[in-house]
Amino acid sequence: MKKIWIFIAVAVLLFITACGQETTKEKDAADSEEELKKLKVDFKVPESAEPGENVELKATVTYGEEKVTDADEVVFEVWEKGNKDDSTKLDSTNHEDGTYTAKITFDKDGVYEMYAHTTARDLHTMPKKFITVGSGDSGQTEDASEDDEHADQEAAGGFDLHFMEPENVVAGEETELMVHLQMDGNPLEEASVRYEFGRKDAENKEWADAKESKAGEYTASHTFAEEGTYQVMIHVESGEDLHEHQEYEIAVTK
């Protein structure tokens, strides 16, 4: 009788172990499948348009094979080439079929650039497009600025940086800073990112190392001691070839 109970106990133990192993395999397979999924945005914009013409910007968002009908954010950012500081942001209309659209009218000739900032499934991506309006000649001078150089690099594909500029920054309170990086349309991972802070022409600067919280997303926190206007320089390094930096201004209030 004792042998029978021992046999039953061993059989139950083997069954529990087998079930546990099977559950672990299923979980590992599900996790692996989830890792293979990518957030993709098919961003469509006409190659050209005329001043005064109504232009549709359209983003189709997918995650793996799934159409994303509930993206956290799809915002179109548009600016004239070489003048990114004067960009316009357009909220999209969610058609609940994976597509998000907005309409814009350009009032003068020029070359315009735009991002489709998209956040969904805890991921962020920002595909870029260009459109030529009219003759494409905006009457700008031939002198190439630093912004133009960055625009030319981005036009050929390559490095993209989007700083989520904080709002309502208060002196003495901790502020989270976030930047999204892309290389050739994909999140730039495992980069070295540092934030440099200081007033204009100040000798002493403060630094903060950013951590990659998600693929291509780098965050850091900083407390500005006093009110005023601060320069924030974002330094990015990846491998031996990529050494980029871009500067922004942050207004700090009491």
Please tell me the predicted confidence (pLDDT) of residue 20: 63
Residue 189 in any domain: the answer is yes
Please tell me the predicted confidence (pLDDT) of residue 151: 45
Please give the structure tokens belonging to residue 199: 């007033």
Q: Are 82 and 140 in contact (CB under 8 A)?
A: yes
Please tell me the predicted confidence (pLDDT) of residue 91: 96
Please tell me the predicted confidence (pLDDT) of residue 148: 46
Residue 16 in any domain: the answer is no
Clarify whether residues 179 and 226 are in a common domain.
yes
Q: What is the pLDDT of residues 53-93, one digit of tens each?
A: 999 999 999 999 999 999 999 999 999 998 888 899 999 99
Instruction: Say how many domains are in the chain.
Output: 2
Q: Which amino acid is at 8?
A: I
CA torsion angle for 91, 95, 101, 103 (degrees, to 10)?
Answer: -80
Clarify whether residues 133 and 198 are in a common domain.
no
Clarify whether residues 67 and 174 are in a common domain.
no
Please tell me the predicted confidence (pLDDT) of residue 159: 86
Clarify whether residues 52 and 129 are in a common domain.
yes
Residue 124 in any domain: the answer is yes
Say which CATH number the domain at 60 has. 2.60.40.1930
* Domain hosting residue 106, numbered range: 39-157
Kindly state the DSSP code that residue 195 receives in the 8-state scheme: E
Say which CATH number the domain at 227 has. 2.60.40.10
